[in-house]
């Protein structure tokens, strides 16, 4: 029987109450601790928590300021819930015996002791800009095959500026940008860049540090927001031109010439509250998806002309190849003022929330292609096995 390891980081119950929860649950002894995932919390409990947060945070006199404090608060935002890990383990069970290998400091010893035939890697990692590369690097060290991209690609994609340098080298459109490492370097005047500008911490995901305040119209806005992000996230800040057009995210499955884009997910910004900026940032992912008014932000397959679909698909595949992605990844794009798809970022460890009610783009795109959640996980496994010469045999339906 094939031994399949699953490497993951399980989201802990927080020991201390986050800022948002303090605001949201004051006086409510029964309130659940806040859970976050790569994408919006959209099971019932998550929605209720998000609703509490939203009403408590957004309705404060200076809601926008509080939102960005909440956004900075959860160090485990990218980790997976037990529900997601169970669903993946269940899908993998179709091909063998599944062993859970939590990415704790004991992971290397456990991996060496278990020596699975292949590891399904979904560990987001902890600590530093190479956190997503740790598990694959350890697997390589012990000669254990694993799913997905290699350490180099995972680290590159967790650096938004290195990603853009590589994309530019290969002629894949991405907004013009600069990187600043200290407040002293921010004059707000970058002659090569045209306002409005958008700023982001360079090594984060899950919209940590990306709120409406990151859209800067003036040098003063820019200097203030860059200073805030530098101080809060203790990492360089990317300043790039704001792309005013429609937004899409593309799930890719496969390798080499066999890589294909699943039905494109379009962002329907009309679903955001009136006056909200057309951005899929922290507010949209975490605060505006409520039980009484769920956000209908995804449109899949996106209703776009065929010619645009083809351009988005080819840009996506060029980005996938340029970054050296393997088996699967998700590419985020937006149209510039001329209607040309530009790549914003590449996610080689895509969010995979199992519940169809969840706003999780990759499983949603797979469903639109007629691929169930289980089949999606199994496809990633079989692609990786094929690539590395691991023989797999299906043991149950
Ligand atoms: N240059 C830009 N122009 C316009 N909007 C942008 C730009 N960069 C980012 N955004 C907006 O901010 C959102 C989040 O940015 P980005 O995808 O880089 O962050 P992330 O936290 O890594 O996202 P994810 O949750 O996919 O990991 C995008 O989905 C988009 O709506
Ligand atoms: Mg993104």
The set of protein residues with a Cβ atom below 6 angstroms from ligand 1 is 38, 175, 198, 200, 204-207, 210, 240, 242-243, 247, 279-281, 332, 334, 344-345, 347
Lowest-pLDDT range of 125-139, 144-158, 289-303? 289-303
More confident of the two residues 21 and 85: 85
Lowest-pLDDT range of 128-132, 203-207, 289-293? 289-293
Q: Pocket of ligand 1, candidates 281, 289, 343, 358: which has the most ligand atoms within 8 Å of its Cβ, to mutate? A: 281
CA of 231 to the centre of ligand 1 (A): 20
Taking the C-alpha atoms of residue 38 and residue 87, their distance in angstroms, rounded to an integer, is 16
| Structural domain spans, the chain | 176-241
Reply yes or no on whether the pLDDT at 23 is more than 50.
Answer: no
Starting from the CA of residue 276, give the closest ligand: 1
Question: What's the pLDDT band for 63 if we cut at 50, 70, 90?
Answer: low
Kindly report the protein residue whose alpha carbon is nearest to atom 25 of ligand 1: 206
Does the domain at 176-241 match CATH 3.30.1490.20? Answer given as: yes
CA of 204 to the centre of ligand 1 (A): 11
Tokens of 281: 């940032």
Kindly report the protein residue whose alpha carbon is nearest to atom 9 of ligand 1: 344
For 136, the 3-state DSSP assignment is helix
What are the φ and ψ backbone dihedral angles of 178, each rounded to 5 degrees? Answer: -135, 165
What single DSSP character describes residue 245? S
pTM over 0.85: yes
CA of 207 to the centre of ligand 2 (A): 7
pLDDT (tens digit per residue) in 298-343: 999 999 999 999 999 999 999 999 999 999 999 999 999 999 999 9
CA of 176 to the centre of ligand 1 (A): 15
Question: What's the pLDDT band for 285 if we cut at 50, 70, 90?
Answer: confident
Smallest Cα–Cα separation from 359: which of 305, 285, 287, 307? Answer: 285
- Which are the contacts of 392, defined by CB distance < 8 A and separation ≥ 6? 2, 95, 96, 118, 381, 382, 385
C-alpha pair distances (Å), 14 with each of 17, 32, 79, 104: 7, 10, 12, 17
Lowest-pLDDT range of 17-31, 78-92, 160-174, 207-221? 17-31
Kindly report the protein residue whose alpha carbon is nearest to atom 19 of ligand 1: 207
- Which are the contacts of 194, defined by CB distance < 8 A and separation ≥ 6? 176, 241
């Amino acid at each position: 029987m094939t031994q399949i390891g699953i490497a993951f980081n399980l989201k802990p119950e927080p020991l201390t109450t986050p800022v948002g929860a303090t605001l949201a649950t004051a006086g409510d002894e029964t309130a659940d601790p806040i859970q976050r995932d790569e994408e919006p919390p959209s099971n019932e409990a998550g929605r209720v928590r998000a609703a509490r947060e939203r009403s408590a945070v957004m309705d404060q006199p200076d809601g926008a300021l509080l939102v960005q404090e909440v956004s900075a608060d959860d160090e485990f935002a990218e980790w997976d819930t037990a529900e997601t890990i169970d669903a993946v383990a269940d899908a993998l069970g179709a091909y063998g015996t599944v062993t859970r290998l939590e990415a704790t400091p004991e992971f290397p010893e456990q991996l060496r002791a278990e020596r699975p035939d292949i590891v399904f890697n979904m560990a987001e990692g902890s600590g530093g800009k190479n956190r997503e590369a740790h598990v694959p690097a350890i697997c390589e060290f012990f000669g254990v095959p694993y799913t997905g991209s290699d350490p180099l690609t995972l680290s590159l994609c967790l650096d938004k500026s290195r990603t853009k340098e590589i994309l530019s080298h290969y002629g894949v459109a991405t907004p013009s940008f600069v990187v600043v490492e200290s407040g002293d370097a921010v004059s707000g005047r970058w002659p090569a860049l045209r306002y409005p500008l958008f700023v982001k911490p360079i090594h984060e995901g899950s919209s940590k540090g990306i709120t409406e305040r990151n859209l800067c119209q003036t040098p003063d806005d820019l200097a203030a927001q860059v200073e805030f992000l530098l101080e809060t996230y203790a990492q360089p800040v990317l300043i790039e031109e704001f792309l005013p057009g429609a937004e899409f995210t593309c799930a890719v499955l496969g390798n080499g010439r066999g890589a294909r884009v699943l039905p494109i997910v379009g962002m329907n910004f009309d679903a955001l509250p009136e006056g909200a900026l057309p951005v899929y940032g922290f507010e949209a992912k975490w605060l505006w998806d409520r039980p009484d008014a769920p956000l209908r932000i995804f449109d899949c397959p996106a209703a776009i002309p065929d010619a645009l679909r083809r351009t988005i698909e080819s840009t996506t595949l060029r980005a996938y190849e340029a970054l050296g992605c393997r088996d699967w990844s998700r590419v985020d794009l937006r149209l510039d003022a001329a209607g040309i798809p530009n790549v914003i970022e590449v996610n080689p460890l895509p969010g995979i929330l199992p519940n169809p009610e969840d706003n999780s783009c990759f499983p949603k795109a797979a469903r639109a292609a007629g691929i169930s959640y289980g089949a999606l996980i199994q496809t990633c496994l079989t692609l990786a096995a094929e690539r590395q010469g691991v023989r797999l045999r299906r043991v149950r339906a």
